[in-house]
Amino acid sequence: MKVLITGAGGQLGRALQATAPSGAELSAIDVDDVDLTDEAMLTARLAVEAPEVLINAAAHTAVDKAEEEEELARAINSDAVRIMAGAMEQSGGKLVHVSTDFVFDGTSERPYRPDDERAPLSVYGRTKAQGEDHLRDSDLLVRTSWVYAAGGANFVRTMIRLMNERDELGIVADQVGSPTWATSLAQTIWGLIAKDASGTFHHSDDGKASWYDFALAIAEDAHAQGLIKRIPEIKPIATSDYPTPAARPAFSLLDCSKTRELLGDTPTPWRENLRAMLKEEKALG
């Protein structure tokens, strides 16, 4: 199986390469290889690569910055997906596209199902939803949430840095979701590809947390790993106390039962995967 991964240098791109099955003939490209906003360049590269499966792990993920870079966010999160889907239509290949919990508005009282109505609150969420709309019935869409990995730019590593710098932190406690280790997401994507799945699926690690809950867990487990010298005071704050350019969904848990039923596996609790990530982070020095 000839597979091309975009966003190769990102958290998920690296995890996909690290967990790839032995039968996958991998190629991986990143921003230094192809400008996703250049339609001619992207089209030409896809024609040369001619993958049977194209996994799009690239995205404009700077949620707040996207509010002032809507054109760029749309070019990467939507227009590039249209180009990829068109290329796969021509070659007969499958596009596997990764999207986000931010396509939902956070007003649900239960975890969001794959077929629930989308109502994004931000430019990031809107452009990701627009990207989803370019997929064909034969393609695979995987939505996820709160992704982090060792060595990446993410909440976990930001918290570790701040906990080593400050004696007190205020963390938002009224936004609820599920942290997701990039490695577990990558493993699920490969599992869905092996099943030749198409349509929309959700993946996040098991359980729920607010950003405050997540920060408390990071503090405890990072301290146990020696990644922070002492645990600072962590105070819960409201979203209104920490205004940001982009609105976030207050509730973005994803219903992953469809995914788990197809793969026949049991989801790993997010806290367990956090500890695994922190071990990797410590090994990086």
Alpha helices (H) in the chain, listed in sequence order: 11-18, 39-49, 70-74, 80-91, 123-132, 155-165, 182-194, 211-224, 257-263, 270-284
Distance between CA atoms of 84 and 29, rounded to whole angstroms?
A: 13
Work out the number of other CB atoms within 10 angstroms of the CB of residue 275: 17
- pLDDT greater than 90 at residue 83: yes
- pLDDT greater than 90 at residue 152: no
pTM of this prediction exceeds 0.85: yes
pLDDT given at position 207: 96
Distance between CA atoms of 37 and 50, rounded to whole angstroms?
A: 19
pLDDT given at position 208: 96
Torsion of CA 12, 187, 87, 120, to 10 degrees: -60
Residues catalogued as catalytic: 124
Would residue 98 count as lying in a domain? Answer: yes
pLDDT given at position 31: 86
Domain region containing 94: 2-150+178-206+253-268
Residue 246's pLDDT band (cuts 50, 70, 90)? very high
- Per-residue pLDDT reduced to its tens digit, 12-38: 999 999 999 998 999 999 988 999 999
CATH code: domain of residue 124: 3.40.50.720
Question: Could you give the number of structural domains in the chain?
Answer: 1
- pLDDT greater than 90 at residue 285: no
- Per-residue pLDDT reduced to its tens digit, 37-81: 999 999 999 999 999 999 999 999 999 999 999 999 999 999 999
| DSSP 8-state assignment for residue 19 | T
Would residue 89 count as lying in a domain? Answer: yes
